């Protein structure tokens, strides 16, 4: 399932080097600020607030941190491929090396949940995640995410 309406070519971090979850969220918040024009601190605070409810590490080395902000015009994402997996307090206890951040307007409601579901479904495809892990350039990662032919399983 292509994610081209959720992510832009300039929203890819192909070789993010971080030591822990907090640092990963800070760096990704900085990138989201560049892409959206919103303050990085506002994005970071929204992500931390969500993480307090429970880890967004969904298993299989994947995390989908997300948050809602009042000043966001539309739903958007940032994708990061980590150079080395980090402890993310994931549900399965495994370290995380693929992170797809999703930021939505406060009013997004069902669209926010649908977008999270689409990301989770796409990243559940082992062929796609293997290719994402093997690709080290932003354009290649962007192509995989936006032109993936992940199965439309229910």
List the catalytic residues: 66
- How far apart, in Å, are the Cα atoms of 154 and each of 35, 119, 122? 32, 14, 12
In angstroms, the CA 70 to CA 13 distance is: 25
Q: CB 153: neighbour CB atoms within 10 A?
A: 8
Measured CA angle at 99 (ends 96, 104), to 5 deg: 140
Give the SS3 label for residue 88: coil
- How far apart, in Å, are the Cα atoms of 36 and each of 1, 31, 80, 137? 24, 9, 16, 22
In angstroms, the CA 147 to CA 154 distance is: 20
């Amino acid at each position: 399932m292509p994610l081209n309406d959720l992510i832009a070519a300039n929203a890819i971090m192909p070789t993010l080097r971080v030591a822990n979850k907090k640092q990963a969220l800070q760096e990704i918040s900085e990138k989201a600020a560049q892409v959206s024009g919103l303050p990085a601190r506002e994005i970071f605070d929204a992500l931390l607030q969500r993480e307090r409810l429970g880890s967004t590490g969904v298993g299989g080395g994947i995390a989908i941190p997300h948050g809602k902000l009042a000043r966001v015009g539309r739903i958007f994402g940032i994708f990061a491929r980590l150079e080395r997996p980090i402890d993310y307090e994931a549900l399965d206890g495994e370290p995380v090396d693929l992170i797809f951040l999703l930021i939505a307007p406060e009013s997004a409601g069902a669209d926010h949940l649908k977008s999270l579901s689409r990301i989770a479904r796409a990243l559940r495809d082992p062929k796609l995640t293997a290719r994402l892990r093997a690709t080290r350039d932003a354009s290649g990662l962007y192509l995989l995410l936006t032109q993936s032919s992940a199965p439309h399983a229910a």
